């Protein structure tokens, strides 16, 4: 998976009894790429019990990404302003499945816009 994602992930070795060689991957890249016009979401406000998160996504019930804001080399990233979602490319998903990645649930996402060719 590190071969696919490159510098966008940080492998962290962990010791789990009965599971030698386990590694947790920390996604390092964060992108502001939600198409808010076509997505459905709720944001935290300063009046919620987590006022420190005001302006961030509290819930993303329909996530549509703006493809023009996603660099071509992005294989795995977090969504800026969200504590939950982790987005992976098809190549990264395939790599995760090949190595028997535990705990991942893949959901196909919609995109809008067109990629920039800059």
What distance in Å separates the CA atoms of residue 59 and residue 77, rounded to the nearest whole number?
18
Model confidence, pTM: 0.84
pLDDT in the model for residue 116: 38
In DSSP notation, 73-116 reads T-SEEEETT-SS-EEE-HHHHHHHHHTT-SS------EEES---
Q: Which two tokens stand for residue 65?
A: 């990404």
Cα dihedral 34/52/43/108 (nearest 10): 40
Q: Which residues have CB under 8 Å from 104's CB, separation 6+? A: 96
**Residue whose C-alpha is closest to residue 10's, from 20, 30, 22, 24:** 24
pLDDT average, residue stretch 17-42: 92
- DSSP string spanning 16-39? BTTBTT-EEEEE--EE--B-TTT-
Kindly report the CA angle at 109 between 106 and 114, in degrees rounded to 5?
Answer: 140
Q: pLDDT tens across 72-113, in order?
A: 999 999 999 998 889 999 999 999 899 888 778 898 888 887
Arithmetic mean of pLDDT over the chain? 89
């Amino acid at each position: 998976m590190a071969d696919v994602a490159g510098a966008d992930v940080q492998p962290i070795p962990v010791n789990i009894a009965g599971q030698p060689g386990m590694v947790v991957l920390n996604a390092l890249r964060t992108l502001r790429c939600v198409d808010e016009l076509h997505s459905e979401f709720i944001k935290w406000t300063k009046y919620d019990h987590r006022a420190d998160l005001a302006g961030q996504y509290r819930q993303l019930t329909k996530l549509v990404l703006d493809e023009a804001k996603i660099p071509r080399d992005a294989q795995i990233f977090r969504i800026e302003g969200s504590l939950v979602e982790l987005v992976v490319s098809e190549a990264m998903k395939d790599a995760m499945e090949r190595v028997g990645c535990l705990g991942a649930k893949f959901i196909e996402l919609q995109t809008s816009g067109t990629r920039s060719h800059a």
